[in-house]
Amino acid sequence: MYLLSKDLVFPSVNLADKNGLLAIGGDLSAERLLLAYKSGIFPWYNPREPIIWYSPDPRMVLFPKNLKISKSMKQIIRKNQFRATFNQNFSEVIANCKNSYREGQGGTWITDEMEQAYINLHQLGVAKSVEVWEGDELVGGLYGIDLGHVFCGESMFSKVSNASKFAFIYLVQKLEKEHYTLIDCQVYNAHLASLGADEISRETFLSYLKK
């Protein structure tokens, strides 16, 4: 594990340990975060911890053409229970992701500092969100980093059943129409695997980032 200085540089991702842990320290400036994502690195740490940077191998991704939609989810889509918007209420989405209870987790990994850092990226046009509405109520959504051909998913929330899944399906279908290569899901997640996500090597993932 490497200790970052004020210099805007990361060590080679090949130096990450078996858990993907690469470096510690640095800051959450827009410049450093953009360099991280373009290099296959992301921050993930708990409150009162220093900033920790990861680049796991393998990497969980979804190629848009591989999206799987269950029969029950197709029925929900046909019923028009939800509607989705894109990048219309980023601050509310990340606030809900931050405050959502997740079983098995002692607290949120989205610190106040991280929340503000991604709001800054949103203002720069890089961090974007999907909002899911039931009537006039925001009931689900997700946000991530848009690199132009790869979308790096960060977090999602759901106040009612299937709202976050609806957000993800909406995003994938939108990005497929816009010819995005893949959605980065970072590490294995059974929920996303059921939607068609799978693991690829870090080396392969980096090759897609560079295209």
pLDDT of residue 208: 97
Residues 62, 147: contact at Cβ < 8 Å? no
Low-confidence ranges of the chain (pLDDT < 70): 101-108
**What are the φ/ψ torsions at residue 145 (nearest 5 degrees)?**
-105, 125
Domain range annotation of the chain? 2-56, 60-210
Closest CA to 8 of 27, 25, 32, 24: 32
pTM value? 0.94
Report pLDDT for 67. Answer: 98
Structure token digits, residue 47? 């409150």
Topology at the third CATH level for domain 60-210: Aminopeptidase (3.40.630)
pLDDT of residue 105: 46
Round to whole Å and give the CA distance between 171 and 10.
30
> What pLDDT is attached to residue 22?
98
Look at residue 26 in the predicted model and tell me its pLDDT.
97
Is 3.30.70.3550 the CATH number for 2-56? yes
pLDDT digits (tens, 9 = 90+) for 88-119: 999 999 999 999 865 544 446 799 999 999 99
Domains 2-56 and 60-210 share a fold: no
pLDDT at 48: 86
